[in-house]
Each structure stands twice: as C-alpha cells, then as structure tokens.
Structure 1
Amino acid sequence: MIIEILKCHGSGNDFLLIDEYNKQYNFSEENRKKLAIKLCDRNNGVGADGILFFCKSNECDAKMRIFNADGSEAEMCGNGLRCVGRYVSEMLSRNVVKIETMYEQYEVKYLSSFYENIKGVKVKINNISSDTRNIPINTSQKQFLFNKILDFSDKLAFSSISVSNPHLIAIVDNIDVNKLEEIGVKTNNSSILFPRGINVSFVKILNENSIYVKTYERGVGLTKSCGTGMMASSTVVCINEPCRFERTLNVYNDGGMIKCKITKEKESVFSAEFSGNATYMFKGKVEIDFQNFDDFSFTLQHNFDNENEEYDKFLKYTNMSIS
C-alpha cells in the first residue's frame, strides 16, 4: 500500500499526518497501531512522536485520532490538534473549524502569523479538570493538588490535572531531566496510583509572565514539548498563584513557545486559550506491506524549507529568552 504523509510539528512535537478524509485507506485498528510503531521509529522508520489520523466526522468539520510512537492511542494532543487544525482550515478555506477528538470537540482558529512569518493556530479548551475522577487517580481526595508522593520523591509536591488526558505536574526550581524521566517511567509501569498511566511535567517559573515546561509523555518518553502538558502546567501555576488567572503566559519548552491563558470556570473546572505554531516540515509517500512491516520504503516529495527556516529563527529567539 502507498500512503501519503505530511511531517509537521507543534513546538517541536513532531507528527506524521495521514489524510483519511480525502483518501480511503481503510486501516484496521491493528494496522494503525503497527503503522505508528513502524513509521515513528527514528532509526528504521520516518521518525516522529506520533501519527495524526485525520478523518471525517459526523458532528464536526473533521476528526483527529492520535497514536503514540509505542502504538497506543491517546485521548488528546494539543500540539497535534494545532497541526490538524491548520490542515483542515487550509483544506476548507475557513479561518475557524471544529475538530473532534476521542472525548471532546474543539474550536480551532487559524492564525496566518502566530509569530513573524510562522503560521499557527489558536484553540479554546473547555474541559480542564482537577477532579480526581477525571484523571483517573486512585485516591479518596476530590482534588490531588501539591501533595508528596514518597515513591517518587520526598521533596517534590505533585498535582494532577486532566486535559482529556491525564497529567502529573510538579513546580520545581530547576529542571532535573533524569529525575523527570525516572518518575515518568515509574508512573507508566504498573503504577497503582495511576491505573492508565500519566504524563509527567516539571514546570519552572521564569518570571511573572513566563514559565518553562519539560514533559515525559506517556507512550512516547521525553519530548521537546507536550501541548496538553503545557496547559496542565499553566493551570497548576495559576492554582498556586491565583493572580496569574486570566493572564497570558509565555510557556517555553525545548521546541519553542506557546501562549496560554487559563480561566477558572468553577471549582475544579478550568478553561484555556492557547496559541502556537503549526509548521509543515516535509511531505512524501510511504510504501508498506501490511503482511510484512519490514518491507517498507519512503520517498520524499517536498521539503517546506521556508517554513523550517522561519521556525529555526523563532527557536533562536525563544532560546535567548530563557537563557
């Protein structure tokens, strides 16, 4: 089978977008999983953090399904949503579109210039929750906020937030990547506390308007960025310092920066407006035999050199801002 792919990224979180809206690939669920494992492999595949399957929807303009590099399906992906949002907006020639995900529907607004010469997307997220029933987490507490988990650390205070998918956040003075990875592995390997695993983020306060977030993503590992992780981290920062609610935060990460504003709607319920890049890297064709996944080839068709060059300039700017 020949499959057309578009390599794209949001804040360095990179994906292979497969258009099932206009193409009839008729993938089985097992083949979606195998495709993700094979194509996302950075040594023997094309290389990516996940695959975005872009499909038709009965209720919205389109539907997004996200499969991680390990073949697992994620409930939601903020960075991926931006990429799909741009693709749908350009395909339909509309500035505002609605995208269906596993559990929610999101309104996405196309931005011709998120930053100088960088195309992006603005998204409204209404279903951020600190209710432990939505994480899920095995605890009797209604909210799990700023608590120690001695199995992970005797110093860090953790908070759990749902953004359709589960997040565990710790505010730290300095980002210890080794410690983050250690906790990420523990929480996603037979953790009694988190039955479905969880994304883990460390967040560092830079100043009153800026934070830095590093995430260990469930099903992926350490990533340059995680869109929902940045929203969850912003939410915890605002809960910790309520004066930050309704304030646009610059959320920096290894892959760039997004802008995020958190609103408290009611007890344990929050919303976010976040905007960031949606950058195309290259497109090509994959030829693969579903009976033998080792029989695989990739043909590059087009590099989006100008977009990549402009984003490199933006990345230099963000790196200077946090150095």
Structure 2
Amino acid sequence: MECRFIKCHGSGNDFPLVDGRALTLSEADWTQLARALADRAGPVGGDGLLVLTGRDGDAAFGMRMFNSDGSEAETCLNGLRCVARAGFEALGIDRATARLKTSRATVAAAAPLAEGVYTVEETAGPATLDLARWPLTGAGERLVDAPLAMLPTDRRFTAVAMPNPHLVAFVDRVDEDELVRVGQVCEGAPDWLPNRANVSFVEVRDDATLFVRTFERGVGLTDSCGSAMAASTYAACLTRRIAFDRDVTVLNRGGLVRARATAAAMVTLHGNATWEWEGVVDVDLSEARAGNLRILHRHDDEVAAWARVAAAAR
C-alpha cells in the first residue's frame, strides 16, 4: 500500500502521523503499519505511529497511538498535540474534545511557547492511583513514594495511571543504566505487571522545574514522553515536592513542556506540535516493511524554531 504521512514531534517524541479517517485497515494491519513506519532502521522511523481518527459523539476527532513494537497505547500526550494540530487543520477549528483509546482529553491551539513554535494546550485525567486497574499486584491498593520489592532497585516509586500506567521515582540524579534495568523488568510483562508500565526517573531541579527521563513501554528510552511528564508532575504534587495549581517547567532530552496539576488529578500541558517533513512511502504490510520514500515537503523553519527551544532547555 502507498501511505502518506507527516513526520512530526512533540518535545522530541517523534512520530509518523497518518490521517486514518478514510482508511479501512484490520487491527493486524495497523500493527504492521506501525512496525513498518516506526522502524528506526527503515526510511521513516519514530517512537510510534499516530493516527487521526474521525468524530465520535462529543469528540470532534480521535487519536490512536501504536508503539514502535506495534502494541497500542492508551494515550500519548506528546502525540496528542500533533494529532490535535492535524485535526484542527482538517476541520478548521482551534479547540476540541479528542477521543483516546480509553478516555477523552480537551485540546486547544495556544499561544506559542516561542517564536515559530506551534503550541497546543491539552488537559487529561483524572489520574488514578488504583493499582487494580493496571493491574499491578503485590503492592496493595496504591503505591505512593514507596519501594516496590519486585524491582531491582530500592528506589521509592509512585504508581500513577494517566490513563496509561507509570512508575515514577524521584532521584537526585538520573542514572540511565539503572532506569533501563528497571524498565526492562517492567517491559518483560511479569505476572505481577501483565500489561507492562512506563518508568520515569525525575529530578526536582527547583520548586517549579522538573527533569524527566523515561523508559517507555513498547519503545525503550525516549527523549520525551508526554504522559510521563504529566504523571511525574502529578506525582510531584501528590508527594509535596511541588505545589498543586502551580505552573511548572518540565524538561526532558527533547526540550520541554509547561505543566500544571490540580488536586482533582487533572493535568494540563502546553507543548509543541512540530511538523518536520511530509512524505509518502510504499508499505508491505505482510512483512511490516517500508520503502521507496518520497519526501513531499520540508518544514525547515519549524524544525529550526524548536531547535532553539531545545538548545535553551539544555
């Protein structure tokens, strides 16, 4: 099949984005398409595949997000901003309710984070601490700033669903080797965590700045994970490391977002939705392989604008 897409990113979390409103693919085909397009060894590459879907009740459009291994995630807040931009441009609107796999979120075009940076405000939640919904067994009904005996570390974790599952540990300094070891245990889908989980190590830089590094379920280490930044912000407020209802800068390897969490467990992010380039590629779904890439348009000004933001964040 021939597939047209936009290569985009939210805070360095990069994806091919497909308008799926007129596509009729089986679930197996979507899995294969994600594996083909997101393959880092292929012509496109990404942390996963984003799909713009059609109206559903009060939702003007929806999003599906497939990880690079073909599994489908409940949400992806960095990706949602990109899908929201595509939905806004397709429908001629600037705010909407968006349908996610298991929840809804509100999205709106927002004032730019910096000159030349297309910015979207998104509000998701409520976050939940109920471990039975993951499920995560053997740790009680909830886990807040406490060790998890099944992991190869004595770090203290807070378990938050956003609505995808996150384990958040606050550290003085991120140790990536340790993060990978913990992440790989969760990625193995042990009996106590059958649906796996995202794992984040978080540095509290000051009372309004976090740095988040994430091992993402189905992907591995990522430059950025939007739902992890939201979960980390809420966990930081819950454990009184920062205050609820305060604007926070959340730094990551790909740049930053602005975040605010409420005591009602809602989290709002302001972040970029940057178009990098647009292209078309031939995909062999049976082999999950893409080839014969043709680049149709490059968005060099947007890429440069975000590069300045990311450099300043570092």
The TM-score with structure 2 as length reference comes to 0.95
Q: CA deviation at 1:92?
A: 1.9
Per the alignment, do residues 127 and 318 of structure 1 end up closer, same or farther by CA in structure 2, a change over 3 Å counting? same
Whether 1:139 and 2:133 are equivalent positions in the alignment is no
Secondary structure of the equivalent of 1:264? coil
State the partner residue of 2:112. 113
1:252-272 deviation digits (Å, cap 9, x = unpaired) = 00000001111112xxxx111
Per the alignment, do residues 307 and 149 of structure 1 end up closer, same or farther by CA in structure 2, a change over 3 Å counting? same
1:89-139 deviation digits (Å, cap 9, x = unpaired) = 122222211210111111101125122221110011132111222332113
Q: CA deviation at 1:26?
A: 1.4
Q: CA deviation at 1:284?
A: 0.5
State the partner residue of 2:248. 249
1:227-274 deviation digits (Å, cap 9, x = unpaired) = 000111111111111751111110000000001111112xxxx11111
State the partner residue of 2:48. 50
Per the alignment, do residues 243 and 35 of structure 1 end up closer, same or farther by CA in structure 2, a change over 3 Å counting? closer
Match among 37, 40, 53 for residue 39 of structure 1:
37
1-structure distance, mates of 2:271, 2:246: 16
2-structure distance, mates of 1:137, 1:224: 26
2-structure distance, mates of 1:246, 1:293: 45
State the partner residue of 2:296. 301
Secondary structure of the equivalent of 1:219? coil
State the partner residue of 1:15. 15
Amino acid at match of 2:26: S
2-structure distance, mates of 1:141, 1:54: 38
1-structure distance, mates of 2:175, 2:139: 30
Greater mean alpha carbon deviation, residues 229-238 or residues 106-115: 106-115
1:159-178 deviation digits (Å, cap 9, x = unpaired) = 10000100001000000011
Q: Flag structure 2 segments of 5+ consecutive residues without an equivalent.
A: none
Whether 1:282 and 2:280 are equivalent positions in the alignment is no
2-structure distance, mates of 1:99, 1:5: 20
1:153-196 deviation digits (Å, cap 9, x = unpaired) = 45310110000100001000000011101100011213233121
Secondary structure of the equivalent of 1:164? coil
Contact 1:112 1:118 in 2 (8 A): no
Secondary structure of the equivalent of 2:35? helix
Whether 1:273 and 2:284 are equivalent positions in the alignment is no
Contact 2:198 2:217 in 1 (8 A): yes
Amino acid at match of 2:30: R
State the partner residue of 2:166. 167
Match among 29, 35, 39 for residue 27 of structure 2:
29
Amino acid at match of 1:46: V
Mapping of residues 42-81 of structure 1, within 5 Å: 42-59=40-57, 60-81=59-80
Greater mean alpha carbon deviation, residues 293-302 or residues 103-112: 293-302
2-structure distance, mates of 1:146, 1:292: 44
Aligned length: 313
1:267-299 deviation digits (Å, cap 9, x = unpaired) = xxx111111000001001011233454473211
Q: Flag structure 1 segments of 5+ consecutive residues without an equivalent.
A: none
State the partner residue of 2:233. 234
Higher percent of residues as strand: 1
2-structure distance, mates of 1:42, 1:243: 37
Secondary structure of the equivalent of 2:160? strand
Secondary structure of the equivalent of 2:229? helix
Contact 2:97 2:104 in 1 (8 A): yes
What is the aligned-residue RMSD (CA, Å)? 1.5
